[in-house]
Each structure stands twice: as structure tokens, then as C-alpha cells.
Amino acid sequence: MRETILKEASSSAKTLRLLIVEHNPKDVDLCLRTLEEASLGFCAETVDTQEEFTRALRDRPFDIVISAYSLPGWNGMDVLASLKKISPGLPFILLTRTLGDERAVDCIKLGVTDYVLKDQITRLPIALRRAGEERSLREAETRALQALRESEARYRGLVDNATYGIYWVTLEGKLLQVNPALVRMAGYDSAEELLELRSVNALYRDPSVRKKMVAEFLEKGYVDAPVEWKRKDGTIITVRVNGRQAKDPERGSDCIQVIVEDITEKVALEKQFLQAQKFEAIGQLAGGIAHDFNNMIGAILGWADMGIEESDPGSRHHRHFEKIHHQAGRAAALTRQLLAFARRQILEPRTIDLNQTVTETLSLLEKVIGGNIEVKVNLSPKLAVVRADPTQVEQVLMNLCINARDAMPEGGSLVIESADITFDERRCALQPFARPGRYAMLSVSDSGTGMDAATLDHIFEPFFTTKEAGKGTGLGLATVYGIVRQHGGFVHVWSELGKGSRFQTYFPVCTDGDSIPDHSEDSRPVRGGSETLLIAEDHDGLRQIACEALANLGYRVVLATDGEQALRELDGPSNQVDLAILDIVLPKLNGPDVYARISLKKKDLPAIFATGYNSDNGLLDKVSHWGWPVIQKPYSARDLARKVREVLDQCKNPSSPAD
């Protein structure tokens, strides 16, 4: 027997899908009339055999199964057993004429939702409603549990896959749970190994810092601060910890949930960026001061030279001029150091081998350093050549070695090393001045007193020194920094109190395959001439001393105080100028612009450009394009005269070597 009956529900009620298992048509009609009289919206399907029951359950969805207890060839318990296999959890109501208390209890234990006696059939609608409500509650609970499991899985996935370290800890410092990122950050092999720590204090470089953080947490309810941690291998890292109140995920007790970010690299880059900004500002100030001093010192040196030449050797005036010259020379050296720090030196780069620089300087170094310091040299046999000013590189080496000597007053060991180093993108990320490529590294290490972090922050600043008053100018390391940076390289420093220091300088290697040329110094005396020279210089002292020094050598000298006057003198019919000496920076019109205009009419006019520092790369590029020499201030009268003769002779006879 199989029959389907539909009784529409009200718009606000749900239509129940019923499967009735009953072989007696009268009992089926009684059941249906009872449900209709109760105004219960339902759709009922009736079956009486096990095959029909099984097929109906598998083919269509139902909300409740109503079954008679006594059925031909099977019974209500058999129906329940089949139901559990096909649709477990579906409500089951048993219809029976008689059922004792003990049997009723057994049925409930077996999974019967409710039972209704046929002589109390009016209870059926109530039983259906209650069964439907219970099923809705169970389904809601099942959905909630499933959502909870999914939420926990998502949460656990977020925690386990997070790039930030996460841990739960008690106020006393007992670690409760940690995620994999924290394990990696702290350098441990497993979460279990990390959890075995007696206290999270073991992660702090200074455990007292955590005590202060706990006090702040108790006051504010949260904590957010950068701190230094110590990894398992002893490496110090900087992390930002953000903690808030939470519940222990397993025990439910109060604890602190902490999120940790490794900001070691970020802090290092910010520190280097701020240091670079600071050095740039100091460099601009130092360069400006040195430029002004150069002009004055150049004039002093020139007049002192003039006085020495015109006074009798051995006379009191001669000695005075020599002392003036000596002190002016020291002042000039000081300004050169300032310009080196500011990266405003005029370099004379050549293709050089750093190993050769070390070898040539070694004998002098051993005399300067002293016998109580052991000097060790470890040079790479196949070191790539670099494009650098050999004098400046020698100064770098000397300054570093003297600095190392001063750090070992009781003696010690000094090691000079060289090596080829390649920097990739990853290594460059930790050094803002590095660019990917090959570098020749020149390193100076000592076993001296070392420096703390606060001192390391200032060692490259001009006039900063840890030595006693009168024992140092504070320009040695500043000069090293400036020279290396001007060559396109950078400096890396490691130092720790009581463990010495290591200064590593990196110079970009040559990529054009240049060989190392032979440079011999010309020792021939200065010669004069009768040519006409134009000197365009805005500083009175330099202009006057240059004029007198060159005039004494027989030259005819024409003077200009600014760029426009220089143009007028060059255009004058009576001034057939043979060579122009132009300051690069002049009032009204700079030296390169003066030459650019006059060369339109006199393109073969030779020139010498003078500058105090390379503050304007654009102007220097113009000079380099023409190929005329640049003489750096402060220059001596002898240097200027030699350069003048050299250029004039080269123009007269291009094939002959310059004087």
C-alpha cells in the first residue's frame, strides 16, 4: 500500500514531510484525520512493506517517520533499525495499541523519539510538533558545532601559518602555547623545546625589561613596545611585542596573548637611513666651511711661499715665513679631511690593486704602529682591481691602522685582509649604500678595547672622538667614511666591548679590464714663459697671489673677479689670451659657462679650472667633457705654475710629453 496525501500549511508554518509506515487503512485514516483537525500542515506518504520504506527514504527527504509497532512480517523496531542505517537522526514516532512502561523505556533507549497509543491518537499532533522542534534544535546545534569546528580550524590555520610569532603566556612568564613562526623566530627546533623554557624571560636580552612590560600591561590592559630578544644561538634580534588579555585556549584561565614581529632588519635600515641623512647634513656644512677655508689658506700658502723665496735663507723673516707655511699646510690638510668626509674632494682615480697599496704602505705602517702590536697580513692572491685615487686609499688604510693602534695601548694584534666579495639583492637589503655587484674588500681588525653601540652610532661624525683631549682631531674615521663613499663604496663596522673591532671597506671593482698604469712623478724644475694668462677668481687673496707668482715667472696676467668680466677680458682686442685659469664657481657666470661661450670664438683656447670641492657634479662633467685639467684648492704657487707650463707646452706640441 502506498499513498500520498497533502494538507497545506498556513503561510507562517512549515509543511511537515511525513512518512507513515502502516498496513491498516483505518489506522492511516484515523492518523490523517487527527492531523487535519489539528490544522497541522503536512505532506504524508504511506508505505507498509520494508522495500517501499527503504526506497522512499533513499529517494525523497522526510521530516518525521510515524510507524505502527505491529506490521506483517516485521515490526516498528525493524523500521527503526532500517531508519538508523539510511537516515540517522530522523525523528521516529511509534504508534501502538499497548506498550508497557518497561517496554516504553527500552524503546526510548533504542532511539524512539516518542510513542503514541492509538486510543490516545489526539496526542499525535503534539508529539509531531515536539519532534519537529527537537529536530530543529539538534540541526541548529549540529550547524553550530560544525561552524565552531570550522572556525577553530580557520583560527588554527591562521595561527600556524602566520608570519608573526604568536604565544600565550601567564603573568608569571609560563609559556602555554606557541606557533611555528615564533619557534623559527627564536631559533628553536620545535614548539616542545620552546615550551620547555622555565620562563619567557629566557627570550629577553634583559629580563628586567619584561618586568616593566608586565607592570605596564597591568596598568593599561595591553602592551606594545620594541624589545631585544636573544635567540637560542645567542644572536640578538629586535622584535615588537603586542600583548593583550586573553583566555588560555586549553584551560580557560586568564593569560596574555602576544603577537611578535621581527623588526631587526627594519630597525637597522631606519638607523642607517637616519645616519646617512645626518652625515649628509654634516657633510654639506663641513664642505661649505672647508671651501671657504681653502680660499683663505691658499692665499696664506701663496704669500708664505713668496716670502720664503724673497727672504734670505737663515734670516728671521725666512724662518717666520716657513712657520707660517707649515701651519697653513696643516690647516690645508684639515680642510682636505673635511672635504673627504663631505665627499667633495677632487679625485684623481686610477686603476689600482689594493694589495699593492697595502704592500707599499706596510713598511711605514710598522714604524707608526709600534713594536708591541703584531701585524698580520692576509691578502687575496687574485684580488680584482678597482678604480680609485691611490693617495686617498692609502689615507683610508693609514687612518684605520692608526685608529686600531690607539685602541690597543697595551699591545695586541692587527690584521689587514683583502678579499673579493659579491653582493646580491639580499645582502644589499642590509646595507643601504650597497649595490648588487662585485667589490674589493679591504679590512682592518684589531684585538683592542672595542666599542659599545652608543659609540658606534657616532664614530664617523667629524670631530667625534673617544680619545683624551689633544690626542686626536676626530676626523680620522670621518675621512675614511667620506673617501670610501665618494668612490662608490661603503664601510661596515663590527665592534664589541673587550672583543676588538673590525672595519671592512668595500670598493666597486673595475669592469672594463683596465690594467694598472705606471705613474712616475715629474721632478723637473718649474719653468716660466711670456704668454698671456687670464685668471678669473673671486677671492681677492688667491687672485692676487696667483697674479704675482705667475708674473714673476714672466707671464703677462689679466685678472677678472667674476664670469662676466672674464668674458669681457677674453673678448678685448688688446688681450690675446693664451690660456684661461677659471674658477669653476664664479659670481654672475660660472667658469664652465664662461669657457663654453668663449670657445665658440676661440675653440682652441686652453684652460685650467680651479675648484675647492666637487659640489656641482654637472659643472665638473662639463669640464671633464672638454678634457682640460682641474686643480684643487688650496694649491701652491709652484703647483699652479707647473700646471700652466704643462698645458701650454702640450698645446704647442701635442705629440711631446707634457712638462
**Poorest-confidence range of 127-141, 173-187, 328-342?**
328-342
Q: Three-state secondary structure along 182-238?
A: HHHHHCCCCHHHHHCCCCHHHHECCHHHHHHHHHHHHHHCEEEEEEEEECCCCCEEE
Give the CB-side neighbour count of residue 414, counting CA atoms within 13 A.
26
Ramachandran angles phi, psi of 271, nearest 5°: -65, -45
**Residue 364 vs residue 279, higher pLDDT:** 364
Determine the structural domain holding residue 360 and report its residue range: 350-508
pLDDT score, position 250: 65
Give the CB-side neighbour count of residue 386, counting CA atoms within 13 A.
31
The verdict on 355 and 499 lying in the same domain is yes
- pTM for this prediction: 0.41
Q: Is the peptide bond before 634 cis (omega within 30 degrees of 0)?
A: yes
**Poorest-confidence range of 61-75, 229-243, 425-439?**
425-439
The verdict on 391 and 483 lying in the same domain is yes
List CB contacts of 390: < 8 A, sequence separation 6 or more.
350, 352, 357
Residue with cell 688604510: 397
pLDDT band at 347 (very low <50, low <70, confident <90, very high): low
Using the 3D structure, point to which of 318, 341, 364 is the last residue of a domain: 341
Give the CB-side neighbour count of residue 621, counting CA atoms within 13 A.
3
Query: What are the CA-CA distances from residue 151 to residues 7, 146, 157, 542 (Å)?
Result: 41, 8, 10, 82
Residue with cell 510513542: 115
pLDDT score, position 158: 62
pLDDT score, position 424: 80
State the chain's mean pLDDT as an integer.
79
SS3 state of residue 64: strand
**CA 206 from centroid of its chain's CA atoms:** 25
The verdict on 280 and 198 lying in the same domain is no
584, 616 contact by CB (below 8 A): yes
pLDDT score, position 522: 46
DSSP for 527-583, please give it.
Answer: -----EEEEE-S-HHHHHHHHHHHHTTT-EEEEESSHHHHHHHHH-TT---SEEEEE
DSSP for 114-154, please give it.
Answer: EEEEGGGGGGHHHHHHHHHHHHHHHHHHHHHHHHHHHHHHH
442, 354 contact by CB (below 8 A): yes
List CB contacts of 239: < 8 A, sequence separation 6 or more.
165, 185, 226, 227, 228, 229, 260, 261, 262, 263, 264
- Is pLDDT of 7 > 80? no
Q: Is residue 441 one of the residues assigned to a domain?
A: yes
**CA 261 from centroid of its chain's CA atoms:** 14
Residue 266 CA to residue 287 CA, distance in Å, equals 31
pLDDT score, position 520: 42
Ramachandran angles phi, psi of 178, nearest 5°: -140, 155
CATH number of the structural domain spanning residue 103: 3.40.50.2300
pLDDT band at 555 (very low <50, low <70, confident <90, very high): very high
The verdict on 297 and 373 lying in the same domain is no
256, 220 contact by CB (below 8 A): no
Could you tell me the three cell numbers for 42? 503536512
Looking at residue 52, the DSSP 8-state letter turns out to be: H
Could you tell me the three cell numbers for 405? 693602534
Residue 345 CA to residue 389 CA, distance in Å, equals 10
Determine the residue type at 401.
C
Could you tell me the three cell numbers for 196? 620547555
The verdict on 497 and 570 lying in the same domain is no
The verdict on 71 and 169 lying in the same domain is no
Using the 3D structure, point to which of 468, 492, 508 is the last residue of a domain: 508
pLDDT band at 294 (very low <50, low <70, confident <90, very high): low
The verdict on 275 and 372 lying in the same domain is no
The verdict on 99 and 69 lying in the same domain is yes
Determine the residue type at 569.
E
**Poorest-confidence range of 377-381, 405-409, 491-495, 620-624?**
620-624
How many C-beta atoms lie closer than 10 Å to residue 233's C-beta? 8
Residue 628 CA to residue 405 CA, distance in Å, equals 42
**CA 17 from centroid of its chain's CA atoms:** 67
The verdict on 355 and 504 lying in the same domain is yes
Looking at residue 509, the DSSP 8-state letter turns out to be: B
**Residue 285 vs residue 651, higher pLDDT:** 651
Query: What are the CA-CA distances from residue 22 to residues 33, 62, 100, 107, 639 (Å)?
Result: 15, 16, 21, 18, 125
**Residue 389 vs residue 554, higher pLDDT:** 554
Ramachandran angles phi, psi of 227, nearest 5°: -140, 165
Spell 434-447 as b/e; 16+ CB within 10 A means b. Answer: beeeebbbbbbbbb
Q: What angle do CA 407, 410, 414 make, to 5 degrees?
A: 55
Residue with cell 672594463: 512
User: Which element (helix H / strand E) includes 643?
Assistant: helix 637-652
The residue ranges of DSSP E strands in 467-618, in sequence order, are 490-496, 500-508, 532-536, 556-560, 579-583, 607-611
Short-list 579, 636, 585, CA closest to 611: 585
Q: Is residue 483 one of the residues assigned to a domain?
A: yes
217, 223 contact by CB (below 8 A): yes
Q: Is residue 519 one of the residues assigned to a domain?
A: no
The verdict on 128 and 246 lying in the same domain is no
- Is pLDDT of 590 > 80? yes
Give the CB-side neighbour count of residue 59, counting CA atoms within 13 A.
8
**Burial category of 141 from C-beta neighbours within 10 Å (exposed 0-12, middle 13-18, buried 19 and up):** exposed
Looking at residue 356, the DSSP 8-state letter turns out to be: H
Write the pLDDT tens digit of every residue in 349-363: 778 888 888 887 777
Residue 542 CA to residue 585 CA, distance in Å, equals 14
Q: Is residue 144 one of the residues assigned to a domain?
A: no
**Residue 132 vs residue 69, higher pLDDT:** 69
- Is pLDDT of 87 > 80? yes
92, 65 contact by CB (below 8 A): yes
**Burial category of 197 from C-beta neighbours within 10 Å (exposed 0-12, middle 13-18, buried 19 and up):** middle
The verdict on 25 and 102 lying in the same domain is yes
The verdict on 301 and 368 lying in the same domain is no
Short-list 71, 61, 77, 85, CA closest to 21: 71
CATH number of the structural domain spanning residue 459: 3.30.565.10
230, 197 contact by CB (below 8 A): no
- Is pLDDT of 52 > 70? yes
Q: Is residue 143 one of the residues assigned to a domain?
A: no
Residue 425 CA to residue 348 CA, distance in Å, equals 30
Write the pLDDT tens digit of every residue in 384-407: 888 887 877 887 888 888 888 888
Using the 3D structure, point to which of 217, 233, 262 is the last residue of a domain: 262
Residue 319 CA to residue 312 CA, distance in Å, equals 9
Could you tell me the three cell numbers for 310? 724673497
pLDDT score, position 659: 43
SS3 state of residue 351: strand
Q: Is residue 514 one of the residues assigned to a domain?
A: no
349, 483 contact by CB (below 8 A): no
pLDDT score, position 516: 42
Is the Cα dihedral 50, 54, 59, 60 positive or negative?
Answer: positive
pLDDT score, position 468: 55
pLDDT score, position 657: 45
Q: Please give the tally of structural domains in the chain.
A: 5
Q: Is residue 527 one of the residues assigned to a domain?
A: no
Q: Is residue 60 one of the residues assigned to a domain?
A: yes
Tell me the percentage of the chain whose pLDDT exceeds 90. Answer: 3
Tell me the percentage of the chain whose pLDDT exceeds 70. Answer: 79
257, 247 contact by CB (below 8 A): no
Write the pLDDT tens digit of every residue in 603-653: 788 999 888 765 545 566 677 777 788 887 777 778 888 889 989 888 877
**Residue 179 vs residue 425, higher pLDDT:** 179
